[in-house]
Amino acid sequence: MFTQFKYWKPYISPFDPCKPIKVKSYSTPPQLYMGFQPPGLPQYPTPKEALKSGTLWPQLFSPYPDPQKGGMKHE
């Protein structure tokens, strides 16, 4: 399944001074995959939703923080 965040597990040394973060993540927003934006992409139903999202097209919307990690899901 396509997700806008990718995860990886860094090496954890037995001598790390801080409590290790076992899984690290980074954002991979839609513009990395879209190429030339296809014409006629579906738009948000209302201008208010589009303004709130910062884009006219749901397919270009990138959530942050990661919704998987308890980030506020953008409606």
Q: Which parts of this chain interact with other proteins (CB under 8 A)? A: 27, 29-31, 34-37, 51-55, 60-62, 64-65, 72, 74
State the nearest-atom distance from the C-beta of 1 to other proteins, in Å.
20
CA distance 26 to 24: 7
The least CB distance from residue 15 to other proteins, in Å, is 27
As measured in angstroms, the least distance from the Cβ of 9 to other proteins is: 20
